[in-house]
Amino acid sequence: MRKTKKALVVLPLVAMTLLSACGDDDGGSTADTTATADTTATADTTAAATEETTAPADTTAAAASDPSKGDIPEGGTEVTIAGDVTTWSGKKVGIANLAPVPGAERWSKPLQACIEKNGGTVDYQDVGGDPTKLPALLEGWASAKVDAVFNIGIDMTGQESLIAAFTEAKTPVVTWGAGNPEGVVSLDANQEEDGRIIGRYLVEKLGSGQVILVNANNPALQSREKGLKEVLDAAGIELVVVGEALGFSAESAQKSVEAALQANPDAKAVVGGFGSLGVGAAAAVTAAGSSAIVVSMNGDPEEYAAIREGGAFVATVADGHEFGGEAACQIAADMIAGNAAPGTAGKQILATSVLVTADNVPAEGASEATPRKFYQLP
């Protein structure tokens, strides 16, 4: 085990929110969000006086944004999502889903429901974690002349020619956590900021010590790791990274963390790169009789259940997958109607996230309901 450098084999894989996840290493999700915006107010010398006096300037400083509570990070520009979903009546679309796991289906299922509720037909294809199945799906949908294509978590790298064909046919391609190649509308959580959010939580709780991260090889998870490491390094907290390149299951995470705890028995916390890894980490901590706390990132039902149990698992960062799926439904409908995609072309549209602890964990069967905002970074 090497410290601060992951012992993972680098293999091409899907961008999973699964997982997140889903995200990528594109500038949209990894842009530096620590830069402070210019807040120097310029006096308005053109305003007309009213009734013998000029209204005094508002000197009240705007409250600092808190990304852990669903705020847009400093430097972000809000993007308005709109679209008449009745446009889906009589339309056919293809949805490529990474795997039958909560992190993917929390985006694809609300999207599917939105389209079908409004009269559309969905060809829903789950690749079972195998990204090599994506090209054939895209080729089939291009031949079938579907009206829109959606992809949750399957890396779009290498699909440029097919994307260009869809663009030529005016077929929207909308993704979540699948990279940001030219020609797609890329939605995602700000994965790097998610890492910062959970990192700040750990710094507040621990102050010092050693933290273990169990992770896998995936663009979203690498971005989360980058944000986490940035915060922990600044606080002088050591980060030990473990895991298998394709180790996306709770069982794989448990095995990796059990070994890590034997080598690092004084670790104060274990971080799961996404939900299932956090659940596996919690099982390892419990089995080892460790006092380490466990945190994760994603906001999947299994994470909420673990928090409600009151054991080692104490917090997660909830990405807005459900809101992202609904946004994708609106965006593509608006594009089919002849309108441009929202925001600045070529930049990812990011959803805000929320830190979830025992204080605000959703009830069983519920998702984290804080309304998400969408934004782009410079």
Write out pLDDT tens, residues 254-302: 999 999 999 999 999 999 999 999 999 999 999 999 999 999 999 999 9
Smallest Cα–Cα separation from 125: which of 112, 106, 115? 112
Q: Where are the alpha helices (DSSP H) in the chain?
A: 27-30, 102-117, 134-144, 160-168, 191-206, 219-235, 250-263, 275-288, 301-309, 321-336
Residue ranges covered by each domain of the chain: 85-190+321-352+369-376, 191-318
- List the Cα angle 188/352/113 in 5-degree steps: 60
Helix or strand holding residue 374 (H, E): strand 374-376
Average pLDDT over residues 226-240: 98
Give the CA distances from residue 170 to residues 138, 147, 149, 167, 173, in Å, rounded to whole numbers and listed in that order.
Answer: 15, 8, 11, 5, 9
Smallest Cα–Cα separation from 18: which of 231, 215, 293, 286? 215
**Amino acid occupying residue 67:** P
Give the CA distances from residue 249 to residues 15, 39, 214, 246, in Å, rounded to whole numbers and listed in that order.
Answer: 15, 45, 11, 9
pLDDT of residue 8: 36
Between 108 and 130, the more confident residue is 108
Decide the pairing of beta strands 293-298 and 269-272.
parallel
65 — pLDDT class (breaks 50, 70, 90): confident
Q: How many beta carbons lie within 10 A of that of residue 363, not counting itself?
A: 7
Smallest Cα–Cα separation from 175: which of 324, 356, 355? 324
Residues of the chain above pLDDT 90, percent: 75
Mean pLDDT of the chain: 86
Smallest Cα–Cα separation from 150: which of 201, 114, 203, 192? 114
For residues 365 and 357, what is the distance between their CA atoms, to the nearest angstrom?
16
For residues 214 and 251, what is the distance between their CA atoms, to the nearest angstrom?
12
Average pLDDT over residues 329-333: 98
For residues 178 and 48, what is the distance between their CA atoms, to the nearest angstrom?
51
- What angle separates helix 102-117 from helix 321-336, to the nearest 10 degrees? 40
Q: Is the pLDDT of residue 348 over 90?
A: yes
Q: Is the pLDDT of residue 189 over 70?
A: yes
pLDDT of residue 134: 96
**Burial category of 60 from C-beta neighbours within 10 Å (exposed 0-12, middle 13-18, buried 19 and up):** exposed
| Cβ–Cβ under 8 Å, residues 348 and 29 | yes
**Amino acid occupying residue 199:** G
Lowest mean per-residue pLDDT among 80-89, 101-110, 337-346: 101-110
pLDDT of residue 63: 61
Domain at 85-190+321-352+369-376, CATH from 3.90.420.10, 3.40.50.2300, 3.30.70.260, 3.40.50.300: 3.40.50.2300
Average pLDDT over residues 192-209: 97
114 — pLDDT class (breaks 50, 70, 90): very high
pLDDT digits (tens, 9 = 90+) for 130-163: 889 999 999 999 999 999 999 998 988 899 999 9
pTM: 0.80
Q: Is the pLDDT of residue 168 over 80?
A: yes
100 — pLDDT class (breaks 50, 70, 90): confident
Q: Please check whether the two domains, 85-190+321-352+369-376 and 191-318, share a CATH topology.
A: yes
| Cβ–Cβ under 8 Å, residues 216 and 265 | no
96 — pLDDT class (breaks 50, 70, 90): very high
For residues 61 and 71, what is the distance between their CA atoms, to the nearest angstrom?
16
| Domain 191-318: assigned CATH number | 3.40.50.2300
pLDDT digits (tens, 9 = 90+) for 9-63: 333 333 343 444 444 334 333 333 333 333 333 334 333 333 333 334 343 334 6
Residue 295: which residues within 8 A CB-CB, separation 6 or more? 198, 201, 202, 269, 270, 271, 272, 278, 313, 314, 315, 316
For residues 165 and 156, what is the distance between their CA atoms, to the nearest angstrom?
14
Decide the pairing of beta strands 77-78 and 92-97.
unpaired
Q: How many beta carbons lie within 10 A of that of residue 27, not counting itself?
A: 14
pLDDT of residue 121: 98
Q: Is the pLDDT of residue 370 over 90?
A: yes
Average pLDDT over residues 291-319: 97
| Cβ–Cβ under 8 Å, residues 307 and 361 | yes
